[in-house]
Structure 1
Amino acid sequence: MSAIVPTSGRASGTRRDNISKKEGNMRIIKSVAALALLGWTTMASAHFVWLEPAGENKVRAYFGEWADDQREKTEGFLGKVVVEPSVNGKKVKPSATGADYFEFEARGDTRLGQPVLFKETLVDYNARLGRTDTKALLPLEIAPTAAGGNTFVLTFEGKPLAKTEVTVFGPPKWMKQFHTDEAGKFTIETPWAGQYVLEAGHTVEKNGQHDGKPFTKTRFVTTLTFERAK
């Protein structure tokens, strides 16, 4: 009579191996998700929204890094950020969509606002096209002190923001940092014809909720785009 070899031990070991593999896979999935979230949050804090003219009475909104010619895709990060923007104070939908932009109908100096929640930080993206209007209407805005001029004032909630860094990007992908004075003003030079983008940020430690989700601080990011004619 042949001996009967017990199999329960081998089966139990196999089950343990399968469980260990599943747990390992779950840890990998969670790690990948955590890295993706970290990358998304880091990228979002570094990028900004800016506007460009797109023909008569039309503007295009981009998200990325202007100086690096990096424009996020509408099916990617752009579509996650510019989801329900306010254009000149009104909630609107794009009139057209491209691979890396949303297009809106607008006239004159145009302003766009879009708050987005990233973990516990609310990032309020503000963007403006044109330097004719001297008024500041966005939460954080760069406005000219005179129509078409090179002296600007940075305002936060309608008040000048002093001693704040402003980055100016120029046509040859040139970049220079400026700082506002006690009156929130700064003056730049525009030696080249073409497009200029001015960018500034301001963080406020304040609790609140956005779409029912809590946040502990708000990061305001603003840009101003304008063209210097030849």
Structure 2
Amino acid sequence: MLWLAPEENNQTLAYYGEFSAGELDNQTGALKTFNTAKAQQGDKEYSAKVETDHLIYATTGEQDVRVSQDMLYDETLINFLAKTGRQNSNVTMEMEIVPVATNAKQFTVIYDGKRLSGQEVVVFAPNRWSKTYYTNDKGQFSVETPWTGLYVIEAGKAVEEFGKYQEKAYKSRYIVSTLSFEID
């Protein structure tokens, strides 16, 4: 999964790997796929500074940050959509997990402008503990945040679609959406 983490200096870090296992991919692996991904913060766009096991975006302030990147894996096009922050519930990506209000612990999963009911979401706590939730009929769910640190919420959706990506054919598409936020 791709997830974002706010830095103390208001920069945003992007990681690719398995959050729950504490495993980070590096530039010799799939992380290099994300090197050209741009970060969006409000109406500003940022390029990544490439590090060994993460990317750094020189974002500013506390406004939400989004990064998206596609990757072809065998015959599946994977869309990675990552967001950090709970400042607003505006949806700008195809699939997003958004708070119902600023800094809320209740969220809505939106896909293609519609709320997803019955959608599985997994919440990862700072200590790597995880819990699976399902959205209600309004596409919403609430999370518990008993520990301080970074939480990452992940939702995935298969899309029946075929096409071409970078001149290579794909037979299916899968969206991985993450939302990360800090609890003090």
> Any residues of structure 2 matched to 1:12-161 within 5 Å, and which?
48-79=1-32, 81-88=33-40, 92-94=46-48, 96-107=49-60, 108-161=63-116
CA contact (8 A) 1:137 1:158 kept: no
Q: Residue 155 of structure 1: SS of its match in structure 2?
A: strand
Q: Residue 186 of structure 1: SS of its match in structure 2?
A: strand
CA contact (8 A) 1:141 1:155 kept: yes
Provide Cα deviations, 1:156-179, integer angstroms capped at 9, x if missing partner: 122111111000011222110000
Pairwise CA RMSD: 1.6
Q: Offset at 1:92?
A: 4.8
* Equivalent position amino acid for 1:93 in 2: S
Q: Offset at 1:87?
A: 1.7
Asked if residue 180 in structure 1 is aligned to residue 156 in structure 2, the reply is no
1:217 corresponds to which residue? 172
Larger Rg, first or second structure (1 or 2): 1
Q: How many residues end up aligned between the 2 structures? A: 180
**TM-score computed with the length of structure 1 as normaliser:** 0.74
Partners of 1:86 and 1:59 lie apart in 2 by: 12
Gaps of 5+ in 2: none
Q: Offset at 1:139?
A: 1.3
Partners of 1:165 and 1:193 lie apart in 2 by: 24
Instruction: State percent identity of aligned pairs.
Output: 33
**TM-score computed with the length of structure 2 as normaliser:** 0.91
CA contact (8 A) 2:158 2:175 kept: yes
Provide Cα deviations, 1:14-53, integer angstroms capped at 9, x if missing partner: xxxxxxxxxxxxxxxxxxxxxxxxxxxxxxxxxx000011
Partners of 2:7 and 2:147 lie apart in 1 by: 21
The structure with the largest strand share of the pair is 2
Provide Cα deviations, 1:57-105, integer angstroms capped at 9, x if missing partner: 31111000112110001232211x31431321877531x2222001112
Provide Cα deviations, 1:104-137, integer angstroms capped at 9, x if missing partner: 1223210000011112110000111111111121
CA contact (8 A) 1:51 1:225 kept: yes
Higher RCO (CA-CA < 8 Å; seq separation 6+)? 2
CA contact (8 A) 2:35 2:55 kept: no
* Equivalent position amino acid for 1:84 in 2: T
2:158 corresponds to which residue? 203
Q: Offset at 1:154?
A: 0.5
Partners of 1:99 and 1:55 lie apart in 2 by: 20
1:30 corresponds to which residue? none
Gaps of 5+ in 1: 1-47
* Distance verdict in 2 for CA 1:115–1:163, change over 3 Å: same
Q: Residue 223 of structure 1: SS of its match in structure 2?
A: strand
1:37 corresponds to which residue? none
* Equivalent position amino acid for 2:47 in 1: K
Runs of 4+ residues deviating >6 angstroms: none
Q: Residue 122 of structure 1: SS of its match in structure 2?
A: strand
Q: Offset at 1:198?
A: 0.4
